[in-house]
Amino acid sequence: MTDKTEAHHSRDDGLPDPVMEGPGLFGDAPPAAPAPAPEPQTSSPYRVLARKYRPTTFDDLIGQEAMVRTLRNAFALGRVAHAFMLTGVRGVGKTTTARIIARALNCIGPDGKGGPTADPCGVCANCVAILNDRHPDVLEMDAASRTGVDDVREIIEATRFRPMQGRMKVFIIDEVHMLSRNAFNALLKTLEEPPAQVTFIFATTELRKVPVTVLSRCQRFDLRRVPQADLAALFARIAEKEQVRLSEDALALIARAADGSVRDGLSLLDQAIAQGEDAAEIGASVVSDMLGLADRQVVFDLLDAAMTGKPDQALALADAAHARGADLGLVLGDMLDLIHTISRLRAVPSLRDSADMPEAERVRGTEMAEALPVPVLMRAWQMLVKGLKEVEMAPDRRAAADMVLIRLCYVADLPSPEDLVRRLSGQGGQTPSALSEARSDGGRSGGQDGPPPLRMVAGTSVAARGAPAAVAAVAVQEPVPEHDLTPVPVPDAEPDPVPAPEPQGPVVPRTWREAVALVKDQREALLHGSLRNGVHVISFSPGAITMRMQPGLPADLPRQFQKVLENASGMSWRIRLSQEEGEPTLDEQGAEIIQFQRRTAQAHPLVKAILAVFPDAELGDVQDHALDEYGLPPEEPPELVFAPLDAELLDEDERPSDPGLSID
């Protein structure tokens, strides 16, 4: 017996020794169980932030308020569609939304008696199974790998059976645009009239590739890009939960690089967290190096150097960015994005107070928007767009980027086409040399080899009306009639130069219309449009204006108007705002005259006769060339010539026929 017991305790087959349970044979207490050996600690695999913080309810979705509101109302009213089409860029929540809809359809509540709800409980068997991707009635299919008609036939066959565990069978087909044409055709009939317990949810990034016959059978939701401010706020909350500190500039860079995609942004945030130390704050420089971007201030400095014509400084900044690992092609893209931001700030000044505008764009962007005119910005935009294409095609990206920067620097101080025309037209009213040489050559050759001889028209003075000199020299000429064979003598000597027009002095507008036109002459297009469309003048006199502004106009409009008037007139102006009604705007006055002329034209007998013969004809725009650019008649008062008191009255026959002659 003892030998058997010893043999029993000395077994070495690897099995644990039996432990006696309950009281012993003689009533003694059972022996204490041996302490279990500690199990080796196995760390769970790391879950990326995009999976760890995936939304599980409609409240967790950001940037999709319209879709969430529609789905909530549909569940509340019991009007849930049988097929959904979710479209949008990558990473905005299409598949996540599909899973939330599947949980909302199958949730039974904690007590097991609940119905479809827009707020699934998350604790019932159906919710837990769907969250863990193991629910038998929620089937996900990747159409990118299963594109054939046989795969769709399996889905159609599965719709004939009732759900095994949940309330509804939900088929989630991702990247549905990858299905073949035959697969779409096989799905049409089932999609149009599915069984009552079946719901289809499609997700795609290429909506235009989905047949219209499929789209017409689905309720479509366009998931928009998530705004950068919402992305930055989300990343800040997640970083706080992960006990990591990132600067606001770093979060803004990640949000901008995400381009509206939550998943892309979370992947970048995961990468940025791995870049930083445990206790230190992750700054914008770390994120810029990670993304291969230049620092935002470097982009501002680079654009400033290019716009001020400093190629040495621009190339030095580009070399420093390249040494830090930045791709110069991406740097040019950042410059293009910055020019777009500056142009928006110049066109819409109210954006400077927007909460979505980063601090760098708000401060330095505003300064550059005030310093750079719109033509210069547009020219830089076109050059950078073309330069980016050159960088992509060039064998050496860095050399191509340097050439783009050098080109941008050397055209920074070139005049715009308007300035060039203005400079050419201000050369004393003389004809350009090419035109003079052509005219002289034609005179010396007798007009045989060159163009037909031209002669001046008497009594015409275009230059006196302010036309450019080159245009005036051509506009006052006309060809000699064919029957006039008398040669026109052309002197060999150069004609006397036309005296240069004296520079115009200060211009003082006498009426409200002249004041608004003066703003246009000063090339203030935005201010001119606001004055023309949204300002009602109450009283006007040289130096003092009282007006009323319509809602929505910039608050600093009176100050801008006053500055333009003072610079052009050389005198001080006082502009006062009032709430009185005032006169209609210039556009409203012009519209009234146009309508009056249109009614007058419609009442003309000839127009009536034409419309009677051609019933389908319509009266087009009525144009009156006597009206000015505002559609109003000229307001120049006729000059009155007063005769002296001792002048004698003339008979009708004695009056001069030429109205331009004066009476002595």
The reported pLDDT for the residue numbered 8 is 45
pTM to 2 decimals?
A: 0.53
Indicate the CATH number of 512-583 among 3.40.50.1980, 3.90.1170.50, 3.30.300.180, 3.40.50.720: 3.30.300.180
CB under 8 A, 24+ apart: contacts of 426-432? 427/469, 427/500, 428/469, 428/497, 428/498, 428/499, 428/500, 428/501, 429/463, 429/469, 429/472, 429/497, 429/498, 429/499, 429/500, 429/501, 430/469, 430/497, 430/498, 431/469, 431/470, 431/473, 432/470
**pLDDT band at residue 375, thresholds of 50, 70 and 90?**
confident
Residue 331 has pLDDT above 80, yes or no: yes
Give the rounded percent of residues in the chain with a pLDDT score beyond 90.
19
**pLDDT band at residue 384, thresholds of 50, 70 and 90?**
very high
- d(CA 233, CA 227) in angstroms, rounded, equals 10
- d(CA 125, CA 132) in angstroms, rounded, equals 11
Q: What is the largest CA-CA distance in the chain?
A: 166
**Every domain of the chain and the residues it spans:** 49-222, 228-291, 296-410, 512-583
Bridge partner list, 220 = 85
- d(CA 123, CA 407) in angstroms, rounded, equals 64
Residue 477 has pLDDT above 90, yes or no: no
Q: Any idea which of 145-149, 236-240, 570-574 has the lowest mean pLDDT? A: 145-149
Q: Any idea which of 174-188, 328-342, 416-430, 486-500 has the lowest mean pLDDT? A: 486-500
Question: What are the Cα distances from residue 227, in Å, to 86, 184, 235, 423?
Answer: 19, 34, 12, 46
Mean of per-residue pLDDT scores for the chain: 77
The reported pLDDT for the residue numbered 48 is 87
The mean pLDDT value for 565-591 works out to 85
The reported pLDDT for the residue numbered 77 is 92
The reported pLDDT for the residue numbered 42 is 52
Q: Is the dihedral of CA 540, 542, 544, 549 positive or negative?
A: positive
**pLDDT band at residue 353, thresholds of 50, 70 and 90?**
confident
Residue 292 has pLDDT above 70, yes or no: no
Please write the tens of the pLDDT for every residue from 241-283. 888 888 888 888 888 888 888 998 999 898 888 877 655 788 8
The reported pLDDT for the residue numbered 71 is 93
515 neighbors 500 (Cβ within 8 angstroms): no
Give the rounded percent of residues in the chain with a pLDDT score beyond 70.
71
The reported pLDDT for the residue numbered 295 is 67
**pLDDT band at residue 567, thresholds of 50, 70 and 90?**
confident
Q: Any idea which of 132-136, 389-393, 494-498, 631-635 has the lowest mean pLDDT? A: 494-498
β-bridge pairing 454-456 and 477-479: antiparallel
The mean pLDDT value for 174-201 works out to 90
**pLDDT band at residue 607, thresholds of 50, 70 and 90?**
confident
Q: Any idea which of 276-290, 320-334, 401-415 has the lowest mean pLDDT? A: 276-290
The reported pLDDT for the residue numbered 7 is 45
Residue 201 has pLDDT above 90, yes or no: yes
Please write the tens of the pLDDT for every residue from 26-70. 455 555 555 555 555 555 788 888 888 899 999 889 988 999 999
| Protein fold of 296-410 | Zinc Finger, Delta Prime; domain 3 (1.20.272)
Fold: same for 296-410 and 512-583: no
The reported pLDDT for the residue numbered 452 is 42
Q: Any idea which of 178-192, 412-426, 641-655 has the lowest mean pLDDT? A: 641-655
- Count CA atoms within 13 Å of residue 597 on its CB side: 17
- d(CA 85, CA 78) in angstroms, rounded, equals 19
Other residues' Cβ atoms within 10 Å of the Cβ of residue 554: 15
The mean pLDDT value for 586-612 works out to 77
Please write the tens of the pLDDT for every residue from 412-460. 767 766 676 777 776 544 444 444 444 444 444 444 444 444 333 333 3
Please write the tens of the pLDDT for every residue from 69-125. 999 999 999 999 999 999 998 889 999 999 999 999 999 988 888 889 999 988 999
- d(CA 405, CA 388) in angstroms, rounded, equals 11
Q: Any idea which of 394-408, 569-583, 636-650 has the lowest mean pLDDT? A: 636-650
The reported pLDDT for the residue numbered 281 is 82
**pLDDT band at residue 294, thresholds of 50, 70 and 90?**
low
The reported pLDDT for the residue numbered 221 is 93
More confident residue, 146 or 475: 146
β-bridge pairing 169-174 and 477-479: unpaired
Q: Which two tokens stand for residue 113?
A: 């008696």
Q: Tell me the CATH class for 49-222.
A: alpha beta
CATH architecture of 228-291: Orthogonal Bundle (1.10)
